[in-house]
Amino acid sequence: MKIKNNKCYALTIALWFLTTAASGTHYDLVLQNRSVKLTFDAGTGALLSFYDRNASLEFLDRKSGERGSLWELELEEGGAVRKINLPQAGTFHSSRPDVHTLVLEWSRFSGLTPSLRVKVTIQLQGEQSFTGWHLALSGISGQQPEKIIFPRISGLQDMKDEELAVPVWLGELYKSPRTSGQHYTWHYPGLLSLQMLSLYNPRTHGFYAACNDTAGYTKTFSFSPDSSRHFTYQMDNYPVTAAGDSVYTLPYNAIIGAFKGDWLSAATTYRDWAVHQPWCRDSRFRKHAAESGAARTALWVWNRGRSDNVLTPAVDLKKRTGLPVNVLWHWWHAAAYDDGFPEYFPPREGDSSFQSAISNARQQDVQALVYMNTYQWGTHTAGFEKENALNNAVKDKAGRTEAHVYNIFTQHSLTPMCLATNWKNKYAGLAGKAINDYHTGGIYMDQACLHHRCYDKSHDHTTGGGNYWVHHFGMLTNMIRRSNSAKDNTILAGEGCGESWLPYLDAFLTLQVSKERYAGISGAATIPLFQAVYHDYAVTFGSYASLVTPPYDELWPAAYAPPDAEQPLAAEFDEQFLMEQARAFVWGMQPTIANYHETLAVRKKKEISYLVHLAQLRYKQLPYLLYGRFMRPPRMTIPEKTIAVSRLSIYTGQHQDRVKRQQQQVPLIYTSAWKSPSGALGIAVASISDTPQLIQFSIRTRDYGLPSSGKVYVTDTSGRKLLSAYKNGSVKVHYALAERGACMVEVGTN
């Protein structure tokens, strides 16, 4: 029946074309199925309409006279760059290889590009609401494509009550994104942890934009408003061609579609594709979870300075939790932070003291990961000139380095090194020294989940575009692991998170649970978008959650040292700390505390107890909070409260920038839902309220693939107990949660 219907549909389309062509009537090109309908101008190939048939709603403003070009090329020839777009074509032709495919071709471009042909192929994905878009060029001999903008979807009209969800590392959500007039641009791979953006009204319909690149090619995604508050979505591609090539084909497809729901709906769609890709198959966590030192970590301590300021406090927390603790150790090195990289050795407290402290901590189940920036080299270091570092530095098109000043006190710059050079050998040697000679538990590779486009033709990579950065990062981590003489659970962790890095890193530092602390309360809100797609393929940890003012590196100029470094923050900011810990717990992250000291267990007793209890509860619920798949949490009525929020520089602020007080309306209860590998459902709950709260919700078992009858258990700090039984596919939960309490409600388990 399906084949018959398709044949009838194709015959109808063919007869329609013959009739309109014979009559001389102007017609549009239509590509449609039961879910979406795309309409193109038959004379130019411009996109006229993108219609969501399921919602009976149009994405584009059809009244607008502006029809943006679906694509734009930047071609270089003889040092000159020329921009070419759709209106410059002298000829346009379309064809239909089959009922689900439309091919658009432009040719006869004047000037320097008489042989150029641009071919766009758009394919429906069966009866789904998603379409694949592909572009190929021919006739480009002697011309280098510098950038290909494709696809470009112009005229996206306001859907009202809009939200824009973007996977900036952990994830960001913009409410009413058009009101600011902001031009939004994000780079992949890098700050974008995956290749999917969604713009939607959660009650009506949504615009879905993605890419199916599995090799980590560099690209940029953007949403730009015009004077009419219409958005233009586009993907900028940076191609790689060899001298003399006459053709170029994008090595992936863009995905454009419609959906109903919110950011989690879009994430679920992307996950359905993503988990079948190479990065999930080769995920370090999935392949090595059983023996992974990262996976068994219960709590991270992020301290800075000498061992008595780092390892001693970590051992204290190890004793309080009774669980494995890892340390993220900054400022252990000889050089000043954000200045003297990569002159890390010898440790600033001396070899003997450093090695002894590492050994003692190991004996007490505390592992230390030491800081090493992945690619920065200080331009004022002796080694920068002596070792000709400039030769291996990232260069722009003009041959300039990308030096940047991070250290506001010394004003000394750092310059990114290109991973596709001998820098890999230097870095691997330094990491090997820390692991093999000093027996650290691993390396924290700062700025790992970022990338640079380098145009230095003397390096071992294609210039500008391509996917060499992630490839060489993989080579670097392999070099470090091969040199590991101990072959014991050495951890390589990196800043940020990203699908391209899943095969190479053991853990990902995801700091956006503390976004208010370093960016304030304005702008985008943090959402666990990466977790919704990849939680069961990656170990995530980290936050800036701290109960004290920032520390100051002893190697920075003494004149700028504040008098109150690492002193307890005002009590009004304690709830912010609880909020950060509650978020991390329900989002399935390993908990982290920054700048912990033993005195806080007395001076901030309630807050440290909260952290310890969450860490202990999480460790009992690893099937959900480590190995589980992120699910949609049940709806609950959750009270809110306005709390004080501190925005403060983490460790480099001057006196006038130290602590800024803001206020934010926050929920008093944080929740999430997880499907364990065994098929049970766990609903994580954490309260930051100083009064007891009643947890009430109901679910339908069919929504979670659960048996229609069974039992409900709850686990809190007092242990696990039977809460109720359910039948007929309906589960109702009523549970009194203590003040600042946390629990896991389990459904469908014995």
Ordered alpha helix ranges (H), 497-569: 515-519, 529-534
Tokens at 264, concatenated: 């989690």
Phi then psi dihedrals of residue 655, to 5 deg: -55, -45
- Rg over alpha carbons for the chain, rounded to the nearest Å, is 28
Tokens at 743, concatenated: 């629990």
Ordered alpha helix ranges (H), 294-433: 307-321, 351-363, 382-386, 423-432
Helix axes 605-620, 574-586, angle to 10 degrees: 0
Distance CA 396, CA 126 (A): 43
Distance CA 703, CA 729 (A): 10
Rounded to a whole number of angstroms, the distance between the first and last alpha carbons of the chain is 45
Please give the C-alpha separations between residue 458 and each of 278, 393, 394, 451, in angstroms, as whole numbers.
30, 11, 11, 19
Asked if residue 315 lies in contact with residue 359, where contact means CB atoms within 8 angstroms, the answer is no
Answer whether CATH 2.60.40.420 is correct for domain 280-633: no
Give the pairing of strands 299-304 and 592-594. parallel
Sequence-distant (≥ 6) Cβ neighbours of residue 356 within 8 angstroms = none
Asked if residue 717 lies in contact with residue 710, where contact means CB atoms within 8 angstroms, the answer is no
Sequence-distant (≥ 6) Cβ neighbours of residue 564 within 8 angstroms = 549, 658
DSSP state at residue 111: T
Phi then psi dihedrals of residue 685, to 5 deg: -135, 135
Ranges of residues in the chain with a pLDDT under 50 are 1-25
In 10 A of CB 232, how many CB atoms? 17
Paired residues of 446 in beta bridges: 373
**pLDDT value of position 456:** 95
Q: Which residue has the tokens 């470009």?
A: 152
**pLDDT value of position 142:** 81
Q: Containing H/E element for 476? A: helix 468-482
Distance CA 494, CA 491 (A): 10
CA dihedral sign of residues 526, 529, 531, 534 = negative
In 10 A of CB 355, how many CB atoms? 16
**pLDDT value of position 235:** 98
SS3 content of the chain, % helix, strand, coil (to 5): 25, 35, 40
Tokens at 31, concatenated: 């590509």
Residue 474: closest CA among 283, 328, 341: 283
Distance CA 193, CA 97 (A): 35
Asked if residue 131 lies in contact with residue 38, where contact means CB atoms within 8 angstroms, the answer is yes
Phi then psi dihedrals of residue 717, to 5 deg: -65, -20
Tens-place pLDDT, residues 636-688: 999 999 999 999 877 666 555 578 899 999 999 999 999 999 999 999 999 99
Asked if residue 66 lies in contact with residue 227, where contact means CB atoms within 8 angstroms, the answer is no
Please give the C-alpha separations between residue 563 and each of 551, 566, 567, 596, 650, in angstroms, as whole numbers.
10, 9, 9, 18, 16
Distance CA 625, CA 298 (A): 11
Mean confidence (pLDDT) of the chain = 93
Distance CA 602, CA 44 (A): 73
Paired residues of 648 in beta bridges: 659
Please give the C-alpha separations between residue 384 and each of 148, 411, 473, 530, in angstroms, as whole numbers.
36, 16, 21, 37
Burial of 639 per CB tally in 10 Å (0-12, 13-18, 19+): exposed
Burial of 68 per CB tally in 10 Å (0-12, 13-18, 19+): buried
Asked if residue 377 lies in contact with residue 389, where contact means CB atoms within 8 angstroms, the answer is yes
DSSP state at residue 428: H
Instruction: Write down the domain spans for the chain.
Output: 2-274, 280-633
Distance CA 252, CA 211 (A): 7
Query: What's the full length of the chain, in residues?
Result: 750
Sequence-distant (≥ 6) Cβ neighbours of residue 233 within 8 angstroms = 151, 152, 153, 156, 197, 199, 207, 209, 221, 222, 223
User: What is the domain class of 2-274 according to CATH?
Assistant: mainly beta
Distance CA 157, CA 143 (A): 36
**pLDDT value of position 652:** 64
**pLDDT value of position 25:** 47
In degrees, rounded to 5, the angle at the alpha carbon of residue 92 between the alpha carbons of residues 90 and 98 is: 165
